[in-house]
Amino acid sequence: MAKRCTRCGNFLMDDERFCTRCGENVSNVMPEGAVPPVAPNTQAPQDNSFGRNDGYVSPNAQPYQQPYNNTYTQPQYQQPVYAQPVQNSDEMSVGKWVLTIIVTTFFSIVSLIFLFIWAFGDGPESRKRYCKAMLIVTAISIGLAVIVYIGLFAILAGSFGEYINKARDYYNEYGQNTVATLAALFG
């Protein structure tokens, strides 16, 4: 005797546990024409909360078998449809990016003028965002440079004042004698 897969209807050997065509578990499928053994009911029926008898099995009951449908067809594979990328006319070419970076990299008044023109004028949005970011970075850099230069000036001014005081003391101690000696020699 042979048994059939409940999913695809493939004929199988009695000892096979899985269908060789679709992989369905067929270990609990009975061979065709075989009558499943009915275990005798040795337990007394028990009433559940709804008044039904749970566990009662009629000795003449046959397990339900789904009728075999020989019209099974494999579903057709459909290629997924992906959205095409949107072509943005606002995109910049590599050459335009190179020109933008070259013009804005060298810090001068011309690059600042171009940054303002490209950041707030007409043109691609990506270049506008880039130029606005460059303006922010430039403003931060100028602010930090001013702070550093003020600090260095304060340090040097304090040191210079100390140097002037030491020079005056040195002149007062040695300078007057030197001038008098030189005047006597050349004098």
- Cβ of 115: how many Cβ atoms within 10 Å? 20
> Distance of CA 129 to CAs 96, 107, 120, 136, Å?
15, 19, 9, 11
pLDDT at 26: 85
Residue with tokens 């008898």: 53
The tens-digit pLDDT sequence of the chain (187 residues) is 578 888 888 888 888 888 888 888 888 887 776 665 555 555 555 544 555 555 555 556 566 666 666 666 777 878 777 777 666 666 788 888 888 888 877 767 888 888 898 899 888 888 888 889 989 988 999 999 999 999 988 888 777 777 777 777 777 777 666 667 767 777 5
pLDDT at 9: 82
pLDDT at 176: 66
The two structure tokens encoding residue 181? 């000696």
> Nearest CA to 63 among 29, 102, 17?
29
Cα–Cα distance, 28 to 13 (Å, whole number): 13
> Nearest CA to 38 among 14, 65, 58?
58
pLDDT at 157: 79
User: What are residue 47's DSSP bridge partners?
Assistant: 53
Cα–Cα distance, 104 to 129 (Å, whole number): 13
| Annotated domain spans of the chain | 1-33, 94-186
Length of the chain: 187
Nearest 10 degrees: CA dihedral of 62, 63, 68, 72? 170
pLDDT tens digits, one per residue of 76-109: 878 777 777 666 666 788 888 888 888 877 767 8
pLDDT at 39: 56
